[in-house]
C-alpha cells in the first residue's frame, strides 16, 4: 500500500503543477488536518481543519501566486506516510509577475485508504524525516 500512496502523491503533485485542481484535490480526506505553522507566511501559518479550510488555504495561496513550478521533487515512502520534498520551487506573483524562488521545503502526509488525512509542512528535511519515522 505504501508505494500506492507514493503514486497518489505523485499524481496529485503533477495535477497541482498543471493547474488541475479537481484531480489535485481528489486524494484529500474530508476531515484532513493541515499544519502550516512552520512556514514564515503571516496569515497562512496555522492549523487548517477539514477539506473546506484546506481548499481555502490553497485558494488564497494560488490567488497570490498563480502558477507553480515544482522542480527536483523527491517522494519518500514512509509506510502510511509520504514525504514530498522539493529543492526548487518557483513562484510567480499573479498581479506583479515577479518570480520568487522558495527555499527547500516538504510535506509529511499521513495516508489512510488512499486519502491524505494529515499534512504538515517542514522547512528542515531532517525534521520531516524524523516526523515520518525515517532514519
Half-sphere exposure at residue 106, Cβ-oriented, CA atoms within 13 angstroms: 24
Closest to 107 in 3D by CA, of 24, 42, 30, 19: 24
pLDDT at 66: 64
Task: Find where cell 484535490 sits.
Answer: 25
Tell which residue, 33, 35, 67, has the closest CA to residue 49: 33
Residue-level pLDDT at 102: 75
Q: What is the pLDDT of residues 33-85, one digit of tens each?
A: 999 999 877 777 899 999 999 998 888 877 666 656 667 789 999 999 999 99
In tens, the pLDDT along 101-118 reads: 778 889 999 999 999 999
Domains of the chain in start order, with CATH, are: 2-131 (3.10.450.50)
Is the CB of residue 109 less than 8 Å from the CB of residue 84? yes
Residues 18, 73, 132, 2: is their CA dihedral positive or negative?
positive
C-alpha cell at 12: 496529485
pTM here is 0.88
Do 70 and 102 contact (CB within 8 A), yes or no? no
Residue 1 has pLDDT above 70, yes or no: no
Strands (E), the chain: 28-35, 47-49, 68-78, 81-92, 99-102, 105-112, 115-122
How confident is the model over 94-102, as a mean pLDDT? 78
The whole-angstrom separation of Cα 34 and Cα 108 is 10
Amino acid at each position: 500500500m505504501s508505494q500506492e500512496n507514493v503514486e497518489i502523491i505523485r499524481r496529485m503533485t503533477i495535477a497541482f503543477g498543471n493547474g488541475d485542481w479537481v484531480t489535485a484535490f481528489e486524494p484529500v480526506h474530508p476531515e484532513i488536518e493541515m499544519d502550516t505553522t512552520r512556514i514564515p507566511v503571516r496569515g497562512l501559518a496555522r492549523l487548517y481543519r477539514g477539506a473546506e479550510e484546506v481548499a481555502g488555504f490553497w485558494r488564497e495561496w494560488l490567488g497570490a501566486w498563480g502558477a507553480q513550478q515544482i522542480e527536483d521533487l523527491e517522494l519518500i515512502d514512509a509506510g502510511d506516510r509520504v514525504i514530498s520534498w522539493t529543492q526548487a520551487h518557483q513562484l510567480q506573483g499573479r498581479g506583479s509577475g515577479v518570480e520568487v524562488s522558495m527555499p527547500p521545503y516538504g510535506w509529511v502526509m499521513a495516508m489512510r485508504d488512499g486519502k491524505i488525512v494529515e499534512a504538515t509542512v517542514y522547512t528542515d528535511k531532517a525534521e520531516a524525516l524524523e516526523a515520518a519515522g525515517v532514519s
